[in-house]
Amino acid sequence: MSVQESNITAVREKKQDRAVVFVHGFTGSRDDTWDRFPALLGSSTPDWDIFTVGYATTLMPDVVGVWSADPDLPILSKMLCTELQTQPFSRYKSLALIAHSMGGLVVQKALVDDQELSQRVRHVILFGTPSAGLRKASFAIFWKRQLQNMAEGSTFITELRAGWSKLYGLDPPFNLLVVAGASDQFVPPTSSLGPFDPHYQRVVMGDHLSIVKPADSNAPSLNLVVDTLGKGATPASDSVSQLLLASERRNPAAAALVHEVEAGTDDMSVKLVVDAALALERAGQRVEGIALLERYKDRDTDIKGTLAGRIKRLWLETEQTKYGEQALALYHQALNTTKKPDQIYYLAINVAFMKFVFANDSAAAQTMATLALQHAAPPGNDIWKTATVAEAYLYFGRIEEAVKAYRRLLRLEAEPWQHRTASLQASRIAAKLGNLALAEELETIFTPGAKRVNRIFVSYSHRDREWVDRFKVMVAPYLRAAESELDLWDDTRIQAGQQWDVEIRRALERAGVALALVTSEFLASPYVMDKELPSMIKAADEGGLRLLWVYISAAGWEETQLSRFQATHDTKRPLDTQPEPEQDEILKSVARQVKEAALGATRRFTSQPPDAALSIDAGSASD
């Protein structure tokens, strides 16, 4: 016989006038999720009663029509509202709601649906909550209603965000904190932090689960909650939290944050060093990020491997021998030092890549690939092990097995930049092998729409046509040698009778790269400044376009939005002030940069409708 049981645990109930309520997440429980958190909080905050609230959530499929199934999130939020209006909670004048993961969505929905509740709530603290939805939920939404609600773009998420913005916006009536784990691989910061103003955002060390399992009274998550409850207000954000946020999202003040953290920290953690370098890179300060990694490279092989990845990128972009030699040496040094199995296969496969593509040493590449396979196989559902195994097969000529592994790779849950990294190395190997069939097969796997959309859009003033023609001549061999079929587009492709605005808009929508030839005539053009340039900048800001620009002649570019984007060469010396041989060298460098940008940009079109333009996060903290 079914009986109704209480879903509330009283950790401390002394009939005070305020209470903390813990709400767990997906597949969690009111006691196991939080572990020692409620008890440790009780020791530090004697003037709050403390409770945990539970509800049904499992990985078992919801079978509608049987006795019971896990309730969806609107029902859970209504249940929470009901419980907070009845005993034991109805007697409390002030409530602090602390939620983890899906529980944070339940809390937000309750506050949106019940505005009277918000008058009693003094604090809302959300740990690792997918407030913008969860892409990883999509694989099982067909059999789990709670996952349907959490899925990115779902009706629940869309309506929740609209309701929250309307009611609470930038000035909620309670103290709000949204907290991300620095190592959270389940809920990305774009979802846990993105929907909220930076004032409310915090980052603590730990993954999705450990951020709510403090080991002792010194744990960062516990201290954050204690400070909030004790002061009665949201504590100020610290520089470390701001820096970790900057590693996920561009912050122009990244350099100042790195300096502040270095000055105030005796011993920066390995992850903090890597995140600091990534923050600098996102802010357009790649040189400074590399310099930071150089300073700390001997502290840990993870830092040295990250530095090698950055130098490898420079070699891929410039093909300068010094960068290839440096990247190979760094990978080798890290591999010879590390004892960590996960680092061994990662470093070994990168040594194999550099040996094969850069050093033309097939035998050495196979030796390293063997070592990588020993530590990565069988890969299971690990994205990097699967990519490693697939790449290793290529070095041994096991093409069918490699292709099969790459196809399996795309079925695994991963961030877009992870697929992009794997596809870029695979395409380079195929090009080195001279195997056109393999290159086309890989393109079909990773970028099925790439041949249609590998477009490079050239923006210029018609009075500068000479420079367009010179660039076309210089870029021609790079387009022919590219691993994909690249298409250089300018407005001479518009045929008589076609609508100018429409054709240019379509070309931009299908472009992975835009190249602006900047002169005073370019900046004086109403069409460029009112239509073309704003469209390019908008697409670049959204992540759907790589915007490059060449400084042809003196012009006031500093007064435009172009100042936010790095030029392809030194802006202290416009091209027309230099001798023609030096102009050609610069145009050659630009051609290389355009090729690399185009090959990378096409990854964003994977499996999209013909006219879709997507933005992806192409950043990597490890490569």
Q: Which residues of the chain does CATH 3.40.50.10140 include?
A: 450-605
DSSP state of 134: B
Q: Are 306 and 289 in contact (CB under 8 A)?
A: no
Distance CA 122, CA 133 (A): 25
Where on the phi/psi map is residue 380: left (φ > 0), alpha (ψ -120 to 50), or beta?
Answer: left
Strand pairing of 175-181 and 201-204?
parallel
Strand pairing of 8-12 and 49-53?
antiparallel
**Any residues with CB less than 8 A from the CB of 295 and at least 6 apart, and which?**
none
Strand pairing of 94-100 and 455-459?
unpaired
Task: Count Cβ neighbours within 10 Å for each residue of 127-136 and write b for 16 or more, e otherwise.
Answer: bbbbbbbbbb
Torsion of CA 386, 389, 395, 399, to 10 degrees: -70
Distance CA 454, CA 427 (A): 15
Of the candidate CATH numbers 3.40.50.1820, 1.10.287.40, 3.30.1490.20, 3.90.1150.10, the domain formed by 8-237 belongs to: 3.40.50.1820
Split at pLDDT 50, 70, 90, the class of 147 is low
Q: Is 417 exposed, middle or buried (0-12, 13-18, 19+ CB in 10 A)?
A: middle
Q: Alpha helices, DSSP H only, in 482-563?
A: 500-509, 520-524, 526-527, 533-541
Residue 72 vs residues 6, 82, 105: alpha-carbon distances, Å: 19, 16, 11
Per-residue pLDDT, 137: 41
Per-residue pLDDT, 454: 63
Q: Which tokens sit at 580?
A: 């023609």
**pLDDT mean over 507-516:** 82
Q: Residue 22 pLDDT > 80, yes or no?
A: yes
Q: Are 18 and 48 in contact (CB under 8 A)?
A: yes
**pLDDT mean over 572-578:** 92
- Neighbouring CB atoms inside 10 A of 15's CB total 8
The owner of tokens 């969505």 is: 105
Domain spanning 300-446 has what CATH number? Answer: 1.25.40
Report DSSP letters for 458-500, one per residue.
EE--GGGHHHHHHHHHHHHHHHHHSSS--EEE-GGGPPTTS-H
The owner of tokens 């946020």 is: 245
Q: Which residues of the chain does CATH 1.25.40 include?
A: 300-446
- Neighbouring CB atoms inside 10 A of 525's CB total 19
Per-residue pLDDT, 143: 37
Q: Are 103 and 129 in contact (CB under 8 A)?
A: yes
Per-residue pLDDT, 66: 35
Q: Residue 295 pLDDT > 80, yes or no?
A: yes
Q: Which tokens sit at 303?
A: 């830092």
Distance CA 597, CA 606 (A): 16
Instruction: Read off the pLDDT of residues 415-435 as tens digits, 9 standing for 90 and up.
Output: 777 888 888 899 899 989 988
Instruction: Read off the pLDDT of residues 349-374 as tens digits, 9 standing for 90 and up.
Output: 999 999 999 999 999 999 999 999 99
CA proximity to 21, closest of 79, 69, 71: 79
Window from 280-294, 511-525, 597-611 with minimum mean pLDDT = 597-611
Choice between 52 and 613, residue whose per-residue pLDDT is larger:
52
Distance CA 267, CA 347 (A): 25
pTM of the predicted structure, to 2 decimals = 0.56
Q: Which residues of the chain does CATH 3.40.50.1820 include?
A: 8-237
Angle separating helix axes 416-433 and 399-411, nearest 10 degrees: 170
**Any residues with CB less than 8 A from the CB of 540 and at least 6 apart, and which?**
514, 546, 547, 565
Split at pLDDT 50, 70, 90, the class of 551 is very high
Residue 568 vs residues 237, 429, 590: alpha-carbon distances, Å: 36, 27, 6
The owner of tokens 């900047």 is: 518
**Any residues with CB less than 8 A from the CB of 264 and at least 6 apart, and which?**
239
Per-residue pLDDT, 324: 94
DSSP state of 356: I
Q: What is the mean pLDDT of the chain?
A: 82
The fold of 450-605 is Rossmann fold (3.40.50)
